[in-house]
Structure 1
Amino acid sequence: MNLRKYTILGGVFHVNYLHQPSQPQELASVPNLRITRSFLPNELQHVDFFESYDPPAPTDPNVRKQPEQIEEEMRKQEEALDRLIAIDLTWPQHVIFLELPIVCVWMEKEKHWTKRYVHDLKHNEDKGTMSLKTQVFGIFGLATLRYANLPFQAWDVKPESNGSVTINITTAIIILEFNVKDGLVCISQLQNSPNRALLDQIGKYVKLHRVKKMLKNAGIDIFPEHDGYCYVDGSCEKHWPTEKHLYSNMAILSGVFNFSWSRWNASQGRRNIVVQMREYAPDRSKQKTHLLVLVNPMKAYYIDCTEVSQAFVDKPVEGSKFCADLLNLVRSTTGIFIRKKVESYSKINVYAVYEFLVATRVVSFS
């Protein structure tokens, strides 16, 4: 079981075969007298158990079998399965399974998880239960795809009137909203969750590392590792120094500007990053329209293209000046009021937003 791709959720289950020491026995011939035969050590002892089982070979579609042969093979398979250990499990309610979990067994000698000894796995999604047959006793875990939430369907970063920053992330199933305030992060909304996991954590401001741990333990891993792109279909890993520097610029501007996902970003290769941005005033009912920004290792500029354009155009807007990055682009195209507002924004919050963007890598995984 590749733990870079899969993760064990909901704890582990110990299913063991134990030998119980002799218990006191009543002597019918002598009232009020009980006798016990003691064997040392007088404690529960593990009993080794292993049942051989060979899964049926896949059927060849080109070979036709008689009904009697098929029936005989099914009977033998059922007899072999009946010799295995039958286990019924209920899904833990404190975690969210976005995909059907895989049952695996911990191999103590080899120090790894395997599903080799688990057979006939059946799920009941409505009741949140499963049944299985296993060849061994031991430690069992429920494994699920680590990055089932990736790639993101959309993301959005916008300032609030109280000086905080709201970050929305839409995955294939779950919709998450975070609020960054005074250097702390809270989950402000959790939509489309299949159970009540994490509802008691809504609105609690904590450090980012605690939010990451809490979400991962609950089965919502939106924080890809450096090799996450190897296990996520549809992602486009961007040039990391450029991407990281862009997150720094976005965090500095997050108190004044609104940034969001662009449908053109994934198709522009590794060295080009496309995002939407606009000046945002939380107390204003009507906001400005989004502009598309293209950022690469050499420069950043507004492009003459929109989200609804027929085709992508990387041509700079008329009258553009050379700007090395997004921050310089904003400084060269905005007035003194906006620049001062950017400079006066809380540095603690800037760093917290930057940490969050680096941890989620929304540009590469959307």
Structure 2
Amino acid sequence: EEPGGREEAPQVVDLEQLVPVGGVFHISALRLPPQAQDVGDWTMVELLDVGLEVYPYSPGKAEDGTQEAVQITLRLPDNVIYFKVPVVARLDPAGQWWRTDGISKITYEAEEKSITFSMGGFSTVALLQDAHLNLPYQAWELHPTGVDEGLFTVTAAFATIQIRIKDNQCMLSSVVVEEEEVLSHITGKWMSPLALRAALKRAGVNIFPAEYSPKYVPVPRKVSAREVPGGFSLFVTQVTLCCTGSCCAAAEAGLSKAGSGTAVSEHLTAGSDKDNHWSLLMFDGDKVQHLKLTETSEAFSEELKEESEFHSTLYHMVKDSASNEAMEKVERAGCLFIDSVYQLLLATRVLAYS
């Protein structure tokens, strides 16, 4: 106890900052079930109605008077990825929360995929990971690859994620960590955007900020949802319309601090975006204008391009500068594909966290 008779405050886990990855481990000492005995030509075994019974365990005292600890080694699941040493937490049955106190001597073996730690007894434990360690994004890119098809690439802090989009389905194309592809068990499978989001979060790849994420992620101030007429979702809709059919959109971290910056390029055939000129646009909540800097500029500048016209929405700015053929493809884009792109942009919030 602390001076004055107060108990030390429990080290309760903030589940908005740390999330369980790889499931929950129930660790208990169990009584051995009755063993079979051979009696003559018979093999007899006692049957119990209660199933496996928990063995009551109470830690003893070491020679120095301290409480003896139980050393536990866990084999980590193969279907998840830990980008850093996971935080080991135990479930407090009284308060129904996760705590990190009472756990010591943690040894993490990344190559062997195991973790060893000591506790004062048996308990239910979980391995936690920072929900925001891949934020803010370093870069992102979205471009069409065919009719109602596109490729969405997010370069995060520890991984590069590529997602293919076709109609109302998404497919995880690859997750690359340190030049190595991982999570092969969920790549190459078509699913809905919502199912893909759940699969990535279960696997430990969380690129989906929540409402409370700004408390934990240092993001340069950009145009907030309150400053955009119609809110953030309306601006995402504008970007979605620009990124369907025949236009590309991309952004890099730090591109915009006074507003939301987006790079847009037109390409009518697969792969033609590699040699195209990218137009850098600035949206400050009221209007969209062309910036003077190019994609090869060393530093960001808010200086506008000479004789740059402005529009109230990103969609109308792109429409004003795109070719007729490009806009025809945009207008013919299927509603299911547009909705899938919209869901991914809204879930990842790349416009706010880049």
The TM-score with structure 2 as length reference comes to: 0.83
SS in 1 for 2:343: helix
Pick aligned residue for 1:17 from 29, 43, 46: 29
> CA 1:109/1:278 → structure 2, altered by over 3 Å: closer, same or farther?
same
1:215 Cα shift? Answer: 0.4
SS in 2 for 1:321: coil
1:332 Cα shift? Answer: 2.5
Partners of 2:302 and 2:95 in 1: CA distance? 53
Alignment of 1:212-361 (within 5 A): 212-234=197-219, 236=221, 238-240=223-225, 242=228, 243-254=232-243, 255-268=245-258, 272-283=259-270, 285=272, 287-309=275-297, 311-361=299-349
Tell me the number of residue pairs that the alignment of Structure 1 and Structure 2 aligns: 336
Which amino acid letter does the alignment assign opposite residue 187 of structure 1?
A: L
1:86 Cα shift? Answer: 1.2
> CA 1:335/1:43 → structure 2, altered by over 3 Å: closer, same or farther?
closer
1:348 Cα shift? Answer: 1.3
Higher alpha-carbon deviation: 276-285 or 100-109: 276-285
Q: Which runs of 4+ in 1 moved over 6 A?
A: 21-27, 31-43, 193-196
Would the aligned equivalents of 2:260 and 2:282 in 1 still touch at CA under 8 Å? yes
> CA 1:48/1:229 → structure 2, altered by over 3 Å: closer, same or farther?
same
> CA 1:94/1:193 → structure 2, altered by over 3 Å: closer, same or farther?
farther
- The answer for unaligned runs of 5 or more in structure 1 is 54-74
CA RMSD, 1 decimal: 3.3
Task: Name the larger-Rg structure.
Answer: 1
1:14 Cα shift? Answer: 1.7
Would the aligned equivalents of 1:96 and 1:195 in 2 still touch at CA under 8 Å? no
SS in 2 for 1:315: coil
Which amino acid letter does the alignment assign opposite residue 58 of structure 2?
A: F
SS in 1 for 2:252: coil
Would the aligned equivalents of 2:175 and 2:181 in 1 still touch at CA under 8 Å? no
Partners of 1:341 and 1:43 in 2: CA distance? 64
Q: Which residue of 2 aligns with 1:178?
A: 163
1:49 maps to 2:58: yes
Q: Which residue of 1 aligns with 2:190?
A: 205
> CA 1:85/1:292 → structure 2, altered by over 3 Å: closer, same or farther?
same
Would the aligned equivalents of 1:93 and 1:197 in 2 still touch at CA under 8 Å? no
Higher alpha-carbon deviation: 109-118 or 254-263: 254-263
The TM-score with structure 1 as length reference comes to: 0.81
> CA 1:103/1:343 → structure 2, altered by over 3 Å: closer, same or farther?
same
Which amino acid letter does the alignment assign opposite residue 71 of structure 2?
A: A
Percent identity over the alignment? 21
1:221 Cα shift? Answer: 0.4
- The answer for unaligned runs of 5 or more in structure 2 is 1-12
Structure that is richer in helix per residue: 1
Q: Which residue of 1 aligns with 2:177?
A: 192
1:231 Cα shift? Answer: 1.6
Which amino acid letter does the alignment assign opposite residue 344 of structure 1?
A: R
Higher alpha-carbon deviation: 198-207 or 174-183: 198-207
> CA 1:163/1:19 → structure 2, altered by over 3 Å: closer, same or farther?
closer
1:22 Cα shift? Answer: 7.7
Q: Which residue of 1 aligns with 2:5?
A: none
